[in-house]
């Protein structure tokens, strides 16, 4: 009887011990998983924060135009947002006869920029805003990290001066610095001037998209670096 009880107690104790060990192992695995997840999230947060600020106000490129004026590319700051909205968003909507479709306000635009939902590269000639590009980062499971150019606009008074070319090449440099291996954007099939520019001057590849849109792309770090380094 005593032996039977001893065996039963030992069996119960072993079961509790195994359960406790299993529980501790499970908790340890959970803790390790959570620690790994937290590290990954922190890395993503730091990466996004770094991206948000690494170009803020910084001069990316300076180029002398033929008449001696200075064209400067730099990352936008909060102080640029209203002027960029007027130039890149509202003016673009007016030129496309789509002002009634514009739902974004300058306040919402500024909040989204401050939150890092999109980024801005501005071009200035002698300190005056001449053009700007809005862009975002995109992750594709097949391709990895990409830079998506959403809008590129050059003020009418500065078209034909190489501003758009410098913005595209500046963005190619930003893509490389941000560990992207491709850059892509879209244009309407009927925008003959822009499509000629993207194909001939920039040398981007194109594929037909939906809703009468063309998708343009620069693929590969080498291709991006060549685009960024070509002097115009």
pLDDT band at 230 (very low <50, low <70, confident <90, very high): low
Which pTM does this prediction carry? 0.73
Which pLDDT does position 8 carry in this prediction? Answer: 45
Q: What is the tens place of the pLDDT at every residue in 133-157?
A: 999 999 888 888 999 999 999 999 9
- Residue found under tokens 């119960």: 12
Pick one of 3.40.630.30, 3.40.50.10490, 1.10.10.10, 3.60.21.10 as the CATH number of 57-229.
Answer: 3.40.630.30
Strands (E), 58-211: 59-64, 70-75, 119-125, 128-140, 144-154, 182-188, 205-208
Instruction: Tell me the sheet residues that pair with 135.
Output: 119, 149
pLDDT band, residue 181 (cuts 50/70/90): very high
209 or 61: whose pLDDT is higher? 61
């Amino acid at each position: 009887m005593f032996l039977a009880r001893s065996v039963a107690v030992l069996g119960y104790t072993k079961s509790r011990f195994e359960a406790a060990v299993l529980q501790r192992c499970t908790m340890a695995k959970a803790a390790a998983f959570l620690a790994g997840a937290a590290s990954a999230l922190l890395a993503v947060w730091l990466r996004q924060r770094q991206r948000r600020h690494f170009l803020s106000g910084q001069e990316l490129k300076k180029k002398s135009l033929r008449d001696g004026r200075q064209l400067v590319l730099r990352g936008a700051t909060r102080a640029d947002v209203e002027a960029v909205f007027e130039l890149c968003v509202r003016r673009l909507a007016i030129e496309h006869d789509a002002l009634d479709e514009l739902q974004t306000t300058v306040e919402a635009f500024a909040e989204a920029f401050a939150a890092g939902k999109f980024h801005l590269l501005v071009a200035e000639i002698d300190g005056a805003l001449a053009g700007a590009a809005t862009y975002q980062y995109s992750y594709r499971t097949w391709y990895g990290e990409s830079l998506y150019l959403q809008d590129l606009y050059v003020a009418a008074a500065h078209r034909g001066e190489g501003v758009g070319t410098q913005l595209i090449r500046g963005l190619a440099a930003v893509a490389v610095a941000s560990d992207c291996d491709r850059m892509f954007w879209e244009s309407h099939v009927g925008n003959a001037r822009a499509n000629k520019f993207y194909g001939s001057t920039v040398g981007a590849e194109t594929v037909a998209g939906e809703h009468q849109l063309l998708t343009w792309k620069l693929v590969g770090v080498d291709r991006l670096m060549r685009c960024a380094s070509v002097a115009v």
